Amino acid sequence: MAKNGSGAGGGAVYGLGLIGSAVYYFQQADGFWPVALAIPKAIIWPAIVAYELLKSFYS
């Protein structure tokens, strides 16, 4: 039988990272384009961190 909800912790960690990075990028923004790019940066940021972390483990 399949277990339901066993991966919910990863979603919570990703969500907290998304919110935290969005707050950081919005605080650093000082014009229209930095504000407009804050949300895509916040979405992509956790993937970049995971990539760099894995790259450091295997290099």
- pLDDT recorded at residue 32: 93
What Cα–Cα distance (Å) separates residue 38 from each residue in 11, 45, 46, 47? Answer: 20, 10, 13, 15
Domain ranges of the chain: 30-59
**pLDDT tens per residue, range 1-59:** 556 555 566 777 788 888 888 899 999 999 999 999 998 998 898 788 888 888 998 87
